[in-house]
C-alpha cells in the first residue's frame, strides 16, 4: 500500500509569513498532485508534477517534486488569509487510476 505523509498536520501563521508543507512517501509515484480544499467543498487541483526535480510556480505558490519522485513540497510566500484551507497532496494515478491521498495539512492564515 502506498502511503503519503504530510507535515505539518496543522499550521497557523500570520499574514505575510512564508511556509512550507511537505509530502513524503517511501513509494515512487508517476505523478503528484496538490489540492486545496475549503470546508464543504470538493478538492480543487492546484498543480500536477510529473518529472523528478520539477519545480512549478503558481503565483505565490512553489511546488517541487523530489528527484526520486517520492516526495514533494509546497512553499507559499507571503501567505494571505485567502490561502486558508486544507492542502492535500496525492500521488498516482496508479494502475486503477485512483489517487493516494496524503494525510492533509490544515493551514490557517490569520489577518
Cell readout for 9 is 498536520
Q: What DSSP string describes 2-67?
A: ---EEE-SEEEEETT--EEEEEE-SS--S-EEEEEE-TTS--EEEEEE-STT-EEEETTEEEEE-T
Comparing CB distances to other proteins, the nearer of 50 and 68 is 50
Considering the complex, what minimum distance in angstroms separates the CB of residue 77 from other proteins? 24
102 lies in the binding site for other proteins (CB under 8 A): yes
Considering the complex, what minimum distance in angstroms separates the CB of residue 94 from other proteins? 11
Q: How many angstroms separate the CA atoms of 27 and 8, rounded? A: 20
| Residues between 70 and 99 with contacts to other proteins, criterion CB under 8 A | 86, 88, 93, 96-99
| Residues between 1 and 60 with contacts to other proteins, criterion CB under 8 A | 6, 31, 33, 35, 39-45, 48, 50
Cell readout for 50 is 510529473
Site for other proteins, rule CB under 8 A: 6, 31, 33, 35, 39-45, 48, 50, 86, 88, 93, 96-99, 101-104, 106
Amino acid at each position: 500500500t502506498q502511503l503519503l505523509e504530510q507535515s505539518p498536520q496543522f499550521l497557523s501563521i500570520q499574514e505575510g509569513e512564508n511556509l512550507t508543507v511537505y509530502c513524503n512517501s517511501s513509494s515512487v509515484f508517476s505523478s503528484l498532485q496538490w489540492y486545496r480544499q475549503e470546508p464543504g467543498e470538493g478538492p480543487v487541483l492546484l498543480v500536477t508534477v510529473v518529472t523528478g526535480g520539477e519545480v512549478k510556480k503558481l503565483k505565490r505558490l512553489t511546488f517541487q517534486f523530489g528527484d526520486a519522485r517520492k516526495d514533494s513540497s509546497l512553499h507559499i510566500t507571503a501567505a494571505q488569509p485567502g490561502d486558508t484551507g486544507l492542502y492535500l497532496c496525492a500521488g498516482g494515478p496508479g494502475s486503477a487510476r485512483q489517487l493516494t491521498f496524503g494525510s492533509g495539512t490544515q493551514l490557517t492564515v490569520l489577518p
